[in-house]
Structure 1
Amino acid sequence: MTASPKSRRRVLVGVSAVATLSLGVGVAAGSRLMSPEDAAAKTAPPKASQITVPVELKALSSKVVGRGDTSFDGAVNIRVETSGLQTPAVVTGKVPKVGSTLQAGKALLEIAGRPVIGLPGVLPMYRALAPGSKGPDVLQLEQTLEKLGFDPGKVDTKYTTDTSHAVEKLYEAAGYDAPEPDEQLKQAVDAADKNVDAAKNALRQAKVALKQAKAGPGKADTTVQQGAVDDAEENLADAVEAKNEAEFKAGTPLPVSEVVYVKSLPRRVDEVKVERGGTVNGVVMSASGASLVVSVKVDAATKERLKAGMPATFDIGDGTIIKATIVRITGSGDEYSVVISPKSLTAAQLNRLRDANVKVTIPLKSTNGKVLTVPLAALSAGSDGSSRVEVLRDGKVELVPVKVGLSADGFAQVTATGDAKLSEGDQVVVGK
């Protein structure tokens, strides 16, 4: 039986569809079929390529950077020796406020109506001083008086009349009457004055008697009268010497309770432990240095790179950089404290920095202007220990020997050695 035209068209369509499907399957299968060599080549990792960076022209600066705490330098407790007082040690005035400044030669307190004058010195005031006193405490007093502009005469270990006069000027400048000598010493001066007057009167009488004897008839023997004059002159000389000694001893003294020595002045009052009307018993106040300092903790390795006198800076927090200097380094083992002192601060800055924590920078070394630099990762060592860098030129790596200078912030100063060349912009290998 012969198929109809419509049936023949269905068969042709079906055959075409099967052919098309077979072709697609074949192409897909063919795209997945490859030789083992081609498969290995396609799945292998890409060839390694060098990671390079350019040689840069820049200035380098090596520095120590850390955080530091501010404080007022050298806190001390101030005590007043009141054992020499004849009355209770009652505070009667001049009580300082916290934050005020103690000045050399000025009263820092009043006890029993008398000043307690602050003076710079290391020896404490352990006894009263007066004309005739001798010792290292007298030397310290005279040295201090001289520095303050009060001439004590020869600066030595002896309390002289010149020392008394200088002490008088010290009290005058502080706004107080000078201390009075002991009443017995005043009485001794009065008695010596009377003795001198009596000796002068006796000498006058002896001279009158001698004159009368010489005016008598004939050649009178005046041996007795002359002896009386000689004795009277000798007595007067002794009386004058005794008066001078009494006046010397009655010179201006320095009571033990009216001076306090502090290692250095001026200083800032940190705490006041007395009040007006109260009685002094032990420490009257604590004071620190009037100058602010910043202390930075460093390890032993860093400490070896630092020394007193080196410049430093610190940031007060508003972008202002304060210049400073290392004043001392203390500590032991693996922890040290580097103390730096600012060159100058305004009153506002001083107040802002009280008990603050600031960023401190201490420069160690710096290049003289811009130099050729490479990252530290670009440096390698040759078999002889010399340094070198790998430079990528025209697709090839060239070893360039270099001399290494200052290293800072991950970079090193380099200079090509021998006939080698190295220039800004050259690409150095830092990894692969």
Structure 2
Amino acid sequence: MTASPKSRRRVLVGVSAVATVSLGVGVAAGSRISSPEDAAAKTAAPKASQITVPVAKKALSSKVVGRGDASFDGAVNIRVETSGLTTPPIVTGKVPAVGSTITEGKALLEITGRPVIGLAGVLPMYRTLSPGSKGPDVLQLEQTLDRLGYDPGTVDDEYTLDTSAAVEELYENAGYEAPAPDEKVTQAVDQSKKQVDAAKKQLRQAQSQLKAAKTAKAAAGGKGDTSVQQGAVDDAEENLADAQEAQNEAEFKAGTPLPVSEVVYVKTLPRRVDDVKVERGGTVNGVVMSASGASLVVTVKVDAETAQRLKAGMAATLDLGDSVSVAGKVRRVTKNGNQYDVVVAPNALTASQLALLRDANVRVTIPIKSTSGKVLAVPVAALSSGSDGASRVEVLRNGKVELIPVTVGLTADGFAQVTPKGDAKLSEADQVVVGR
């Protein structure tokens, strides 16, 4: 059966439509097909670009920052040497109150009615000193007396009558009678006086006998011998000289002493009384009180590397909170085990600041170095080294990177001071590369 012309046309149109659709699908599929190289190029990370920051002009300051506890400086235990007493060491008065101040040259306690005077010194009182004593403890005493304005004569290691006179002044200004010499010493003085009197009497008798012998010789026309009487006078004069020398020595030794139980040396004064271990009527046995420096300090612990950058006298700032800060100075840096203690003292404190600081943990800032005004500065990450080891920065200019050799100065807070070398140019706002 033969198809009519009209039927054939419908078939051709259908075939044509199918071909057209197939062609569109093929083109679309072909557009999604790519080579392995094209696929890798499309999936690779974008090309890295430089990360830059502008060169800044700013002041740099290197500093040590830490936290520390506030306390009264240098707590010490105070002991009184009572071995020289002949009676029990009973506390009879002047018991200090906690918080009171120990002042140099004043009594900090009374034992058996006698004062215990506080003096500044490193050697402890370990013996009673008196005229004729020699040693480093005598030197320390005379240095102290001289510093306090009492004239001990020549400042050396020998206790003299001038030292005795200065000790008397010390006691007088402390409000007490000077200590008396030992009874045996005063007895020796009395005995020496009697010996001098006896020697004088003997000399007078010898002189009288010599005079009588000379008178008799003259009456006999010059005959007779007076050598025996003259010898007696000579011996008597020698005995008197020895007796007077012995008396001078005894009186020298009878100068004002300094009893071992009446002075306590503390490294530094004044100090604050932190704790009292005795009471009036009680017996002294060991430590009588503990005391610390009269001024508050803050102690910051640092490592050995940091400690090497710090020294006494450096300025510091103490942050007391509530936007309150006070100026201070580093008082000392001392090793404490594997760490170092940096002791910082405020320059001055008001009553309210003292209340804030007492027993507080505070932030301390100690400047180490600072630039003289504003300088060119870049982040430390912008610095690199060339093959010769010299420092340089990369500056992005007009889309190109230029290497600028620089001299590096102070580094602080992540920035470094830089100065371009030679004819190289570097200015504020230049873009330096810090990463890619």
TM-score (norm 1): 0.82
- Matched to 2:276, the amino acid is V
- Matched to 2:372, the amino acid is N
1:58 is the counterpart of 2:58:
yes
- Matched to 1:147, the amino acid is R
**Aligned equivalents of 2:238 and 2:305: distance in 1?**
80
1:330 is the counterpart of 2:335:
yes
Shift of 1:113: 0.3
Alignment check: 8 A CA contact 1:329 1:336 kept? yes
1:375 is the counterpart of 2:347:
no
Alignment check: 8 A CA contact 1:123 1:137 kept? yes
- Matched to 2:135, the amino acid is G
Alignment check: 8 A CA contact 2:81 2:260 kept? yes
Shift of 1:183: 2.0
**Aligned equivalents of 2:109 and 2:179: distance in 1?**
16
Q: Which residue of 1 aligns with 2:257?
A: 253
Shift of 1:87: 1.8
Alignment check: 8 A CA contact 2:78 2:287 kept? yes
**Shift in alpha-carbon separation, 1:159–1:45, aligned structure 2, 3 A:** closer
Shift of 1:213: 4.2
CA RMSD, 1 decimal = 3.1
**Shift in alpha-carbon separation, 1:166–1:391, aligned structure 2, 3 A:** same
Q: Deviations over 1:259-317 (max 9, x none)?
A: 11222222221111111121111100011223433221122332333344443332333
**Shift in alpha-carbon separation, 1:285–1:249, aligned structure 2, 3 A:** same
Alignment check: 8 A CA contact 2:120 2:265 kept? yes
Q: Which residue of 2 aligns with 1:295?
A: 299
The one of 316, 324, 338 equivalent to 1:319 is: 324
Q: Which residue of 2 aligns with 1:12?
A: none
**Aligned equivalents of 1:77 and 1:257: distance in 2?**
16
1:184 is the counterpart of 2:184:
yes
Q: Specify the SS of the correspondent of 1:413.
A: strand
Q: Specify the SS of the correspondent of 1:414.
A: strand
Q: Deviations over 1:339-367 (max 9, x none)?
A: 23344445654454222222211222222
**Aligned equivalents of 2:402 and 2:134: distance in 1?**
83
Q: Specify the SS of the correspondent of 2:123.
A: coil
Shift of 1:94: 1.1
Q: Which residue of 1 aligns with 2:72?
A: 72
1:165 is the counterpart of 2:170:
no
- Matched to 1:56, the amino acid is A
Q: Specify the SS of the correspondent of 1:115.
A: strand
Q: Specify the SS of the correspondent of 1:316.
A: strand
- Matched to 1:405, the amino acid is G
Q: Deviations over 1:117-162 (max 9, x none)?
A: 1222232222222223333333332332233232333334333323
**Aligned equivalents of 2:47 and 2:174: distance in 1?**
88
**Aligned equivalents of 1:136 and 1:377: distance in 2?**
60
1:273 is the counterpart of 2:277:
yes
**Aligned equivalents of 2:123 and 2:42: distance in 1?**
90
Shift of 1:417: 2.9
Q: What fraction of aligned residue pairs are identical, expressed as a percent?
A: 74
Q: Deviations over 1:193-217 (max 9, x none)?
A: 2332333234334434433444452
- Matched to 2:185, the amino acid is L
Alignment check: 8 A CA contact 2:300 2:342 kept? yes
Q: Specify the SS of the correspondent of 2:418.
A: strand
Structure 2 unaligned residues grouped into runs of 5+: 1-27
Structure 1 unaligned residues grouped into runs of 5+: 1-31
Q: Which residue of 1 aligns with 2:13?
A: none
**Aligned equivalents of 1:62 and 1:153: distance in 2?**
52
Q: Which residue of 2 aligns with 1:20?
A: none
